Chain A
Amino acid sequence: MKAINHIKLEFPSIAGNVRLARVTVAAFASELDYDVSVLEEIKVAVSEAVTNAIVHGYQKDPQGIVTLTASLYDSNLEIVVEDRGKGIDNLDQALEPGEGTDPERMGLGFVFMRTFMDELEVTSEPDLGTKVIMRKKLPSEVKAKWFNEN
């Protein structure tokens, strides 16, 4: 299915870009009439996916490139965060609450992504990278607006 609108962002794996990523997606999503509280939750989900790419995918190596796309489809906003880093060895275990290789982050990243988005898909290959796809249903009133204009 073709996206009605989309943005694509590529940036090096540095901590300061976590903020850039979530603020950019929030700006894109704010066109879609989500409640402010929902926008805040989308920001957290993006932050978690990008932080995972930087911290786990690339082990904070600034040579690594994170790719982020946000796409508007007819019934949802889809956000994809991709790295070509070291991948997740045991994906099922990583997706369990309380897991995660950094004990201080408590494996909370995936918990927040799953809690705040309607759908979460994660694919990962050791040494090839990780791809996180998150979807959020559109507020019902936004559909008419975008379909009339496009």
Chain B
Amino acid sequence: MNLEIKKMGDTLLVKIFGDFDLELADHCRREIDRNYEKEAVKNILFDLTGISFIDSSGLGVILGRYRKVKENEGNVVIASGDSRIIKLLNLSGITRLIPVYPNTAQALKYLAGKVM
């Protein structure tokens, strides 16, 4: 099991484990989209604290979901404290669009602040 999806208020908590590459990307894209619609939430929190690798396939899933959430006037936030992962988030330009916090507690705090 490389993917855990939970609803918390208006936010979908998406925790991904292991290597976030092509093999996991299609599955994640499908499951996140399905749950985002089913749960009728606004925001997505990507918890990347459990991943050991990410490449453009994984980053593409995050960016694609960001576009959908923005269309729905929601917010996306990432939790990751791994410098290797953050370097790739930076290089991809994702950090210019999506804030990154070292853990989920701080990421949730950011989303809560957005609501107030």
Contact = CB atoms under 8 A, between A and B. Distances in A.
Contact of A19 (B21, B29, B63): B21
Given A37-B84, A44-B88, A102 B60 contact: yes
Contacts of A40: 53, 84
A48 interface: yes
B17 to A, nearest CB: 14
B84 A19 contact: no
Interface of B is mostly: helix
Contacts of A55: 22
A51 B63 contact: no
B10 interface: no
A11 B45 CA distance: 36
Contacts of B56: 48, 51, 105-106, 108-109, 112
Interface string A27-56: 000000000010010011001100100110
A111 B64 contact: no
A128 interface: no
A40 B59 CA distance: 16
A105 B91 contact: no
B111 to A, nearest CB: 23
B61 A104 contact: yes
A106 B23 CA distance: 18
Contacts of B53: 22, 40, 43-44, 47
Query: Which of B25, B53, B56, B60 has the largest number of chain A CB atoms within 10 A?
Result: B56
Contacts of A109: 56
Range, interface on chain A: 20 to 34
A116 B60 CA distance: 19
A104 B84 CA distance: 21
Contacts of B103: none
A55 B26 CA distance: 12
A54 B91 contact: no
A19 B19 contact: yes
Contacts of A115: 91
A9 interface: no
Contacts of B84: 37, 40
26 contacts: A15-B22, A16-B23, A18-B22, A19-B21, A19-B23, A22-B53, A40-B53, A40-B84, A43-B53, A44-B53, A47-B22, A48-B56, A51-B21, A51-B56, A102-B60, A104-B63, A105-B56, A105-B57, A106-B63, A108-B59, A108-B92, A109-B56, A112-B56, A112-B88, A112-B91, A115-B91
Top 4 A-B pairs ranked by shortest CB distance? A104-B60, A108-B56, A15-B23, A105-B60
